[in-house]
Amino acid sequence: MKFLLTGIMLLCCFHSTVSADSFTIGDKKIEVPAPAGYARVTPDMGDVYRLARNLADPANDLLAYYIPESAVAAAKAGQMPPLDRTFMLKVNKKLKTAELGTGDFAKLKEAAIQENRKITETLKKQLPDLFDKLNQGISKEFDMDFAMKVSQVVPLDPHYDVPNAMAFSMFVTYNVSAAGENLDDVVCCTTTFLDTDGKVLFLYCYAPQDELSWTQNAGKDWAESVMASNPKPPTGTVEGGGFRKYRGMVKWIIAGVVFLLISVFKGRGSKSA
């Protein structure tokens, strides 16, 4: 049970093979190479795709999930393979049509540094209501009793800071129950937000709690491959706006982490039904 739940929980995935996928974001086409050794989840991957499709995030659009290439055959055979390390790509709904120059992105990074912990605490207060709705949804989708809750979210200070990207990590403690069994666990997530060709992307990398360094290194490698595959953002200020506006953008980034965790946790109980 724990093996299956752990695998499903870390569902949020990665992009396909060595070639890059092209995503249309606003008026730009952005190339996103898959993380090395990972494949994008597709409809022929059975329950893995079904779980990924069940993700709900009111703030951001999901562009792609990725799982290890070694797990693809099992997923296509209708199995739920162990997914200890996973990735996800998102874009904020309100930022799809916006264009951020280097000056705009500098304000976003400043807001992230100053407001990260405050915003996380605000979101934590909203989680119970969100979980009630989502637990009901997964229980109905998979015809099972499912419940998940988060007891602690611990954000860390940014560890990666370059002109067009910044990353921070967090630990999330949660409990999930399914089919009469319970699992308490901790997961770590590294979130990277970057500005490529004026478009801001959110990159998420998940792993067990003792693999924080791996999420940070893997997230950095993926971010740098994305930035190298696209033009640099315009110089200066394009979008404009004050500090409050960019504080709101940081909330969207952190919300992406929380909702991704929710989708991952939801999936953990599906195979035990």
pLDDT tens for residues 4-18? Answer: 444 444 443 333 334
Residue 202 and residue 256 in contact, taking contact as beta carbons nearer than 8 Å: yes
Q: Which of 6-20, 33-47, 138-152 has the lowest mean pLDDT?
A: 6-20
- Residue scoring higher pLDDT (46 or 138): 46
Tell me if 88 is assigned to some domain. yes
Residue 157: domain span: 2-268
154 is a domain residue: yes
* Lowest mean pLDDT across 24-28, 57-61, 158-162, 178-182: 178-182
Given the structure tokens 């909330």, which residue do they identify? Answer: 251
The CA distance from 182 to 269, in Å, is 10
For residues 173-196, b (16+ Cβ closer than 10 Å) or e, as one string?
ebebbbeeeebebebbbbbbbbbb
Specify if 10 maps to a domain.
yes
Give the three-class secondary structure for 68: strand
Q: In this predicted structure, what is the pLDDT of residue 121? A: 59
Of 25-29, 63-67, 253-257, minimum mean pLDDT range? 253-257
Q: Which of 40-54, 87-101, 127-141, 168-182 has the highest mean pLDDT?
A: 87-101
What are the helix (H) ranges across 39-194? Answer: 46-53, 72-76, 102-142
Q: What is the pLDDT of residue 273?
A: 39
**Would you say residue 68 lies in a domain?**
yes
Nearest to 51 by CA among 220, 178, 228: 178
- Average pLDDT of the chain to the nearest whole number: 76
Q: Is residue 226 part of a domain?
A: yes
Range with the largest mean pLDDT of 35-49, 109-123, 183-197, 221-235:
221-235
Q: What is the pTM of this model?
A: 0.78
Domain total in the chain: 1
273 within a domain of the structure (yes/no)? no
Stretch 151-162: mean pLDDT: 83
267 pLDDT band, cuts 50/70/90, is very low
Stretch (H or E) spanning 24? strand 20-25
Least confident range from 27-36, 170-179, 247-256: namely 247-256
For residue 140, tell me if it sits in a domain.
Answer: yes
What pLDDT sits at residue 11?
43
Contact at 8 Å (CB) between 18 and 33?
yes
